[in-house]
Chains A and B, each alone.
Chain A
Amino acid sequence: QARDDATSAAVSAILDSLEEIQCLTDCTERDRELLQSVFEDDTLHSLLELYDHINSRSLSSSA
């Protein structure tokens, strides 16, 4: 599904930019670890999949 792919690509892009995020924000080492653990978390990935699934369903049923 295209929507799921776009969201997981977005999460990968964030994980790839962690160092830059740390440089550009007032983010501590601990914040950086938090971002990494949040975006690498399997549960988060499941929630995002579920989000995309529900969101695309409600869009298609209202169309």
Chain B
Amino acid sequence: MPVRKEDATRALELLEQYHRRLNTTEDAQLRASIERVIKIFKSKLFNALLDIQEFYEVTLIDENKTA
């Protein structure tokens, strides 16, 4: 299944909300994990990969468009 950009955006929103509500002193490991994923989801590289994947799914796999 392709990952849709809007789903990734919503997932990022929810993770940021959750991260804000986590206690700073507790859950250090969990906070670090969430920060890692947030950072990736916000990166230009990851968003470029999402775009490429989306383009690949809609265009390159469709033989009518590549022929």
Please give the residue numbers on chain A whose beta carbons come within 8 Å of chain B beta carbons, in ascending order: 6-7, 9-11, 13-14, 17, 20-21, 24-27, 31, 34-35, 37-39, 41-44, 47-48, 50-51, 54-55
Contact = CB atoms under 8 A, between A and B. Distances in A.
Contacts, number: 74
Contacts of B49: 47, 50-51
B7 A38 contact: yes
Interface of B: 1-3, 7-8, 10-11, 14-15, 17-18, 21-22, 29-30, 32-34, 36-37, 40, 43, 45-46, 49-50, 53
- Describe B's contact surface by its main secondary structure: helix
26 contacts: A7-B40, A10-B32, A10-B34, A10-B36, A10-B37, A11-B37, A13-B30, A13-B33, A14-B33, A17-B30, A24-B21, A24-B22, A25-B18, A26-B17, A27-B17, A34-B10, A35-B11, A37-B1, A38-B7, A39-B11, A41-B1, A44-B3, A47-B50, A50-B49, A51-B40, A51-B43
